[in-house]
A and B are shown apart, each in its own frame.
Chain A
Amino acid sequence: MSAMRICSVCGKPLAANAPQGLCPECLLNAALGTGVDVGPDSQSQAESGKVSFVAPTPDELAKPFPQLEIMGFVGQGGMGAVYKARQKALERVVALKILPPGIGRDPAFAERFAREAKALAKLNHPGIVTLYEFGQADGLFLFPDGVR
């Protein structure tokens, strides 16, 4: 019996039929977070070996956000993912922005985030999305006006 091979990057066991002997999970991770456009930022991210943020599925969001009905995924950028949702109690369409989980663990960022959210909530202008809510539920989130 040959010894089980291990991926040198993530340390997980490598199957005998791994594509070109490379770890399939790391291969997909290298392509994630790059958007459909391949830009210089994504390239440097892949080069530095950083783990990309994988946006949760609408189903995964149902538990931390019971007050919302997640209607669908809108898009993903460098600072999180946005979903279209319906606030069940008020029957209004809102946007839900989820930030990558690691960011919330940085106290300085969390403080800045709270400050900016409060400042944004005070603004009311047709050209600025209104912020309804923000906070933490398995990671930071924002709750701006619905996407139309």
Chain B
Amino acid sequence: MTSDKRDAAKPSDAWFATTRWTVVLSAGDSSSPHAATALESLCRAYWYPLYAYVRRRGHSPPDAQDLTQEFFSQLLEHHWIARADRHKGRFRSFLLMAMNRFLANEWDKVKTLKRGGQVQRVPLSLDAAETRYAQEPADTSTPEQVFEKQWVLALLDSVLSHLREQYVRDGKAVLFDMLKPCLIGSRELQPYAAIAAELDMTEGAVKVAVCRLRERYRERLKGEIAHTVASPGDVEEELRHLFRVLARR
């Protein structure tokens, strides 16, 4: 969609007003249905980094599962957003701050009550989360570093999954799967001639398709980041921050 492309590449103030974190922040502590949907959608995309954070802080798998579920239930039921800094807050920082507050003040109370029949406002695949966490390579990262690294992976995963879905909808899943290594590599590593022969395309057509894929990827990535920050100027800075998160490994 042309307008989406333009908007994601250059976030205008009007478009930015509709990004998820902006919608949530603008709603403040009022229970606007738009804000609730936007917040739920953000939680759905970024719950795993928080699970990994809680695990790295030393909680057992069952506790981490209860804790993550309870945290998100309370986040959606209560009006914690009013505590977020409207001017410079990012969803990433807010989530970590809210979790730390929750761990310090709420978790003991919740544990002693140990209610039955939790309301699952956000259905989280918590069993799969532990399998995934167990596969993470052991390293000496702090819980905060684990959270940030998993945040980047969740973001990229969401960007690439949506991108692939677009190609699948257009009946071009094979094209996407063949071209995706070109998102990161140079032409020497992925010779267009070989791809062209495999896909029965001309080399020129492959070149155009690669350019388009890269463009769509960058737009989608910046658009996705825009959903988690409070102003258009933060997108580029957040992108650089996330790069540094991975580069310090």
Q: Do A and B come from one complex?
A: yes
Interface residues of A (CB under 8 A from B): 7-9, 12-13, 15-32, 34-38, 43, 46-49, 54-55, 57, 73, 76
A47 touches B137 (CB 8 A): no
Among A9, A31, A73, contact of B221 (Cβ-Cβ < 8 Å): A31
The docked-state distance in angstroms from the alpha carbon of A17 to that of B128 is 13
Do A32 and B181 touch across chains, with their CB atoms under 8 A apart? no
Query: Are A28 and B185 in contact (CB-based, < 8 A)?
Result: no
Q: A27 to B185, alpha carbons, bound, how many Å?
A: 9
Could you tell me if B247 and A38 are in contact, using CB atoms closer than 8 angstroms?
no
B160 near A24: Cβ-Cβ < 8 Å: no
For the complex of A and B, the 10 pairs showing the least CB-CB separation, nearest first, are A49-B186, A26-B184, A19-B156, A25-B246, A19-B157, A20-B160, A28-B243, A31-B218, A38-B9, A19-B160
A47 touches B183 (CB 8 A): no
- Point out the residue from B11, B132, B244, B246 that lies within 8 Å of A17, measured CB to CB: B132
Q: Given known contacts A17-B153, A36-B235, is B219 in contact with A30 (CB within 8 Å)?
A: no
Q: What residues of chain A lie closer than 8 Å to B241, measured between beta carbons? A: 57
Q: Name the residue on A nearest B163 (C-beta).
A: A20
Q: In the bound complex, do residue B11 and residue A36 qualify as a contact, i.e. CB atoms below 8 Å apart?
A: yes
For A12, what are the chain B residues with a Cβ–Cβ distance below 8 Å? Answer: 249
Q: Is the CB of A31 within 8 A of B239?
A: yes
Query: Does B13 sit within 8 A of A, measured CB to CB?
Result: no
Known A8-B189, A35-B236, A54-B244; contact A23-B132, beta-carbon cutoff 8 A: no
Q: How far is the CA of A57 from the CA of B245 in the complex (A)?
A: 12
| Interface residue? B232 (CB, 8 A) | yes
B198: Cβ under 8 A from any A Cβ = no
Interface centre among B164, B184, B214, B232 (most CB of A within 10 A): B184
B151 to chain A, nearest CB (A): 11
Task: Tell whether, in the assembled complex, residue B136 and residue A25 are in contact, meaning their CB atoms are under 8 Å apart.
Answer: no
Q: Which residues of B contact A18 (CB under 8 A)?
A: 153
CA distance A17 to B161 in the complex (A): 13
Q: Could you jot down 26 A-B contacts, CB within 8 Å?
A: A7-B184, A17-B136, A17-B157, A19-B157, A19-B159, A20-B164, A22-B183, A24-B246, A27-B183, A27-B217, A28-B243, A30-B183, A30-B217, A31-B218, A32-B243, A34-B218, A36-B10, A36-B232, A36-B236, A37-B10, A38-B218, A43-B214, A43-B215, A47-B211, A54-B240, A54-B244
